[in-house]
Amino acid sequence: MTKKSFVKFENVQKSYDGEVLVVKDLNLEIPKGEFLTMLGPSGSGKTTCLMMLAGFETATHGIISLGGNPINNIPPHKRGIGMVFQNYALFPHMTVYENLSFPLEVRKLSKAVREEKIKRALDMVQMREFGNRRPAQLSGGQQQRIALARSLVFEPDLVLMDEPLGALDKQLREHMQYEIKHLHERLGVTVVYVTHDQSEALTMSDRVAVFNDGVIQQLASPPDLYEQPENAFVAQFIGENNKIMAEVVDVKGSVVTAKTSEGNLLKSKKVNCDKVGSKTTLSIRPERIKVGSKGENTSDAKVLELIYIGDHIRCRMLVEGDENFIVKIPNAKKISDLKIGLKTQVSWSTVDCRALDRLI
């Protein structure tokens, strides 16, 4: 076992009905101590992967190994993996203390050791006084913390979390994101986290695996994922994104020149596009666009809608035939010049525009 591959999926496939593959040839290595998030829309196969790792689903093909040993045939209770469920799965007939005690009892630890560990786990999530409560007497955030403590109390090397924050309101969710992140940093435990919320993934993870259609579309750190999406799906799924459909007319080194439907020639960075003559999707983040001035790439634009957000103005424009072209304009003094119906220009630098595969 190398440090690089504490958890390893090798050519893993999964099918429920023998006709459709839910997971198609998955290869993934997770080093020890990493916080890896599996991100994707529902039905993308991310939860199935997590369940296969936990042992609740069996892989149809391929090998899953943990710490260098294949675990395909090891029942879930012998895998020693901590898990936090979507609705916490706190045992309703037990108190918080008993919930935490359960994994220790089945490991036949002595009472003194159990008490010590439970105390530590409760302290860790700042829930020390709640030992005698039943789960139903706790708020959602408190339940979440207990579920977290319970998955960690027996000190597993690997913790799986299946959309654990899905049931919380936005503010609490954001707060818990930081708490989980800090816990992870403090304990150094390996975490595999499943979510469909991209901002959650970006906030917490060391690396994010973006799933779609049973395949990992991109596996990268959050900045890379945002800044350098490798295909149109990732670009669209992570953050906001403007797409301009164009046809490649020239490729010079890493620069692609493409012609839009309006006949405009735009330069962009070559990432994931075919040779001359093929269709491509040009992707530009809304905050990288300047309004009212010329640059490396310039396009005519017409203001369609202005939305006041606070720190910035969201401006919907007609650019290259796309009516949903979004530009984020920092809230500075000049914005009063913008009016609906104003005809102006937008520009961006070539490095900020990525030529990706054609989006169907």
Partner 1 sequence: MLASQNNNNQKVLTTDGIPLKKKLSKALFRSRLRAFGLVTPLLLLISIGFVFPIIVFLTRGVYNDTFEKYMVNLTPILSEWDGKSEPTEDMYEALVLDLVWLKETKNIGKVASRMNRELSGSRSLFTSSARKAKKLEAPFKESLTKVKKKWAKLETWRAMKVTSQSLSPVFLASALDMKYTADGTIVQKSPERRIHVKLFIRTLEISLVVVIAGLILGYPVAFLLANLPIRISNLLLILVLLPFWTSLLVRTTAWIAMLQGQGVLNDLFVVFGIATDQDRFTLIYNKAGTLISMTHILLPFMILPIYSVMKTIPPSYVRAAKSMGATNWTAFWRIYFPQTIPGIGAGAILVFILAISFYITPALVGGQDGTMISNFIDYHMRKSLNWSLAAAMGGVLLVIILFLYWVYDRVVGIDNMKLG
| From 17, 42, 78, 310, residue interacting with partner 1 (rule: CB under 8 A) | 78
For partner 1, give the closer residue by CB, 97 or 154.
154
Q: What are phi and psi of 76, to 5 degrees?
A: -55, -40
* Least separation in angstroms between CB 65 and partner 1: 18
In angstroms, what is the C-alpha Rg of the chain?
A: 24
Closest CA to 16 of 40, 51, 67: 51
Residue span 150-169 as binding mask against partner 1, x where in contact by CB under 8 A, dash where not: xx--x-----x---------
Contact between 135 and partner 1 by CB under 8 A: the answer reads no
* Least separation in angstroms between CB 53 and partner 1: 11
Q: How many residues bind partner 1 (CB under 8 A)?
A: 27
Residue 107's CB: how many other CB atoms inside 10 A? Answer: 11
* Least separation in angstroms between CB 170 and partner 1: 24
Q: Which two tokens stand for residue 270?
A: 């070559």
* Least separation in angstroms between CB 158 and partner 1: 10
Contact between 333 and partner 1 by CB under 8 A: the answer reads no
Closest CA to 358 of 257, 249, 233, 237: 233
For partner 1, give the closer residue by CB, 43 or 91.
91
The helix/strand/coil state of 242 is strand
> What distance in Å separates the CA atoms of residue 198 and residue 207, rounded to the nearest whole number?
12
Torsion of Cα atoms, 90 then 96 then 98 then 103, to 10° = 50
Residue 37's CB: how many other CB atoms inside 10 A? Answer: 26
* Least separation in angstroms between CB 102 and partner 1: 6
* Least separation in angstroms between CB 183 and partner 1: 18
Residue span 46-65 as binding mask against partner 1, x where in contact by CB under 8 A, dash where not: --------xxx---------
First to last CA, the chain: 41
Q: Interface residues for partner 1 in 80-119 (CB under 8 A)?
A: 80-83, 85-87, 89, 91-93, 102-103, 106-107
Rounded to 10 deg, the angle between the 140-152 and 111-124 helix axes is: 130
Contact between 35 and partner 1 by CB under 8 A: the answer reads no
For partner 1, give the closer residue by CB, 47 or 142.
47
**Contact call for residues 238 and 226 (beta carbons, < 8 A):** yes
Q: Which residues bind partner 1 (CB under 8 A)?
A: 54-56, 75-83, 85-87, 89, 91-93, 102-103, 106-107, 150-151, 154, 160
